[in-house]
Structure 1
C-alpha cells in the first residue's frame, strides 16, 4: 500500500512553514507543495489538491474557500487551518479533546477545520464546565488573552524581527471594535447562548499565549467553588495526552503565568485560581500559539485522519 500524499497549500506562511517542518522527514507519508512560480496559478493548485489524499490549507479565508471549491475528487480530505469553515455544520471541528468521541469524528471526517489559537484555550476551559451545567449558557463570559507576535503571521514577525524592530510596540491591545472573528467560533463550540466579550492582545515575544476567563461565583450556584470547577476540568481531561490541568496545590503557589512556558510543545495547561473570600475564580490556559494553537493541532488532526 502506497504512502498517503499530503499537500500543503500555503506552506510559506507562519503556520504552513511549521507544518512543513514537522512533516518533511516523515516516512509514513509523501509531502507535496508547489514551487514559488506556481503558487498563484489556479490550474496548478487545482491539479495539486485533486491529486492528493489529504490537503492542509494554510491560506487566508477567501483563498481557503476557493481551494475547497476547486476540489472535484471526492476522495480528497481536507484540514483547513483558516477560519473560513469553523462554524459550518458540515465541517468537523478539529479539537480532539473537546468532547468524548471528537477524536474519532476527526479520524473519520472528510472535512476538518482546525481551531483558532485563542478559541483552543477558551473552548478548552469553558466547554466542559458548560456541558456539566456548572456555568449556564447565558453567563456573561469575558475572555482576555495575550499572544506572541507570531499570531499576526508574517506581519507580526517582520515588525518585531525586521529592520524596524527597535520601534516595535511592547504590547498592543486590539480588537477594540469587539468584533474579532474568533468570537462566533468560541460561542458556538463552547456552548454559550450569547456572545462572549473577547479582548485580545499581542506582546513583544515571538510565541506563546496566556488566556484567562474570570468568573464571579455570586452569579453561579451558591455551593459552587473553585475546587468543583477544577475537578470538572480534571475529569474531562484525565485521559488527554496534550491537555493538562494543573493540580490545585500547584496553582495556589503560582505568582504569575508565563505565556512562553510551553513554547516548542503541542501541550496546553489549564489552571484554576480561586479566592474564597471574594468568591471569584480565574480560569487560565497557557499554550504555544504555533503548537497546540496552530501547526501542532493540524498535525494532531492529520495523524488521526491517517488512521482511517
Structure 2
C-alpha cells in the first residue's frame, strides 16, 4: 500500500459517515475520497471509487452495503462495513478489537471487517469474557435492556428531535417490542451464547450515548460467580485495553447513577458490576457513545488496525 492510503467513504452524508469524516479530519497518512452529491447514487461512479480505494468504509443501509461489496472487482480493496449486513457472516472478521487478545491481529490482516452494532458492542463486551470464564452459563436466560440517544435512529430521527417539529418528539420511546430486533443473533454469536437473548432497546430525548444493562440472579450462576468474581474476570480481560475500563469495587459502590453521555465524542467505554449480595442480584452495565465506540469510533479504530497490517 502507498504511504498515503486512499480511503473511500460510501455513505459519507449519513450520521456515521459524517462522524468518520470528522474523526479523520487533519490526518496526513491517508486521503479521504468522497463523491459529489450528484454522483453518490451513480453505480458506475461508486464502483470506480470503491475499486480505486485501498480501504472502503461502507456507511450504508444493509441492502446498499451488500450491493457495494458486489461492485468490488479489485482484489486489493479492503472493506470495513458499518452496516449490519455481515455481522454474523463467517467470511467477515468481527471488528470488536477487544473481543480477545488475538482480535486486533485478525482485524489487521483481514480483507473484510464488519463493524459491531452499537448495542451489541456493550452486550458482548460484558458477556463475552464472563461466558468464556465460565461465570455466566451460555444458556442463561438473558434479558438485555439498553437506552440510547436518539441519534441511534439515524438522520430521520435526529431531524425529529432537532428539526422544526422538535417540541413534539417523545421524551422516551421503548421499541422493538416484537422481540425480532436484528441485534440478538449478533450478540448470541459473538458472546458464545447457546440461546438468543431477549433484547429490549429504547431511546431518550438526548442526542447520543448509551447505558446498557443485564440483570443476573446468582442462584442461576455457577458456584462462586459473585460480584467480585465477575468484576475480576472483566478486569483481567480488559487489563491492557486502551478504550475499555472496568469500575473498581469502590467505584461501583460510589456510583449512585450512570450517565449515558459521559463518553460522548470518544471511543471509550466503561463497564460496571453492581449488585445486592443479600438478594442474590447482580447488574452488569456498559456506558459508551453510540456514535463513538458504537459506530464511527470503532470504524476508525478498525481502519487504523487495517493500516497497521499493510
CA drift at 1:204? 0.2
Secondary structure of the residue that 2:282 maps to in structure 1? strand
2:234 corresponds to? 233
Secondary structure of the residue that 1:126 maps to in structure 2? helix
Deviations 1:77-123 (A, max 9, x none): 00000000000000000000011200000000000000000000000
- For 1:127 and 1:48, locate their aligned partners in 2 and report how far apart those are by CA, in whole Å: 37
1:274 corresponds to? 275
- For 2:221 and 2:22, locate their aligned partners in 1 and report how far apart those are by CA, in whole Å: 46
Conserved? CA contact 2:3–2:29, under 8 Å? no
- For 1:115 and 1:223, locate their aligned partners in 2 and report how far apart those are by CA, in whole Å: 31
2:77 corresponds to? 76
Asked if 1:298 is matched to 2:299, the reply is yes
- For 1:2 and 1:101, locate their aligned partners in 2 and report how far apart those are by CA, in whole Å: 26
- For 1:52 and 1:306, locate their aligned partners in 2 and report how far apart those are by CA, in whole Å: 13
- For 1:219 and 1:132, locate their aligned partners in 2 and report how far apart those are by CA, in whole Å: 16
Say what the alpha-carbon RMSD is for the aligned residues: 0.7
Deviations 1:3-59 (A, max 9, x none): 110000000000000001111311000110111000000000001000000000000
Unaligned runs of 5+ in 2: none
2:131 corresponds to? 130
Conserved? CA contact 2:137–2:222, under 8 Å? no
TM superposition score normalised by structure 2: 0.98
Secondary structure of the residue that 2:20 maps to in structure 1? helix
1:100 corresponds to? 101
Secondary structure of the residue that 2:234 maps to in structure 1? helix
Deviations 1:120-146 (A, max 9, x none): 000000000000111111111110000
1:168 corresponds to? 169
Secondary structure of the residue that 1:231 maps to in structure 2? helix
Secondary structure of the residue that 1:284 maps to in structure 2? strand
- For 1:9 and 1:223, locate their aligned partners in 2 and report how far apart those are by CA, in whole Å: 49
2:212 corresponds to? 211
CA drift at 1:220? 1.1
Secondary structure of the residue that 2:99 maps to in structure 1? coil
* Aligned ranges 1:1-308 → 2 under 5 Å: 1-308=2-309
- For 2:179 and 2:207, locate their aligned partners in 1 and report how far apart those are by CA, in whole Å: 24
Secondary structure of the residue that 1:222 maps to in structure 2? coil
- For 1:182 and 1:50, locate their aligned partners in 2 and report how far apart those are by CA, in whole Å: 30
CA drift at 1:222? 3.0
Secondary structure of the residue that 1:205 maps to in structure 2? coil
The size of the alignment, in residue pairs, is: 308
TM superposition score normalised by structure 1: 0.99
- For 1:65 and 1:144, locate their aligned partners in 2 and report how far apart those are by CA, in whole Å: 29
Deviations 1:154-185 (A, max 9, x none): 01110100000000000000000001111100
Unaligned runs of 5+ in 1: none
Secondary structure of the residue that 2:144 maps to in structure 1? strand
- For 1:154 and 1:81, locate their aligned partners in 2 and report how far apart those are by CA, in whole Å: 15
Structure 1 runs of 4+ aligned residues shifted over 2 Å read none
- For 2:10 and 2:276, locate their aligned partners in 1 and report how far apart those are by CA, in whole Å: 48
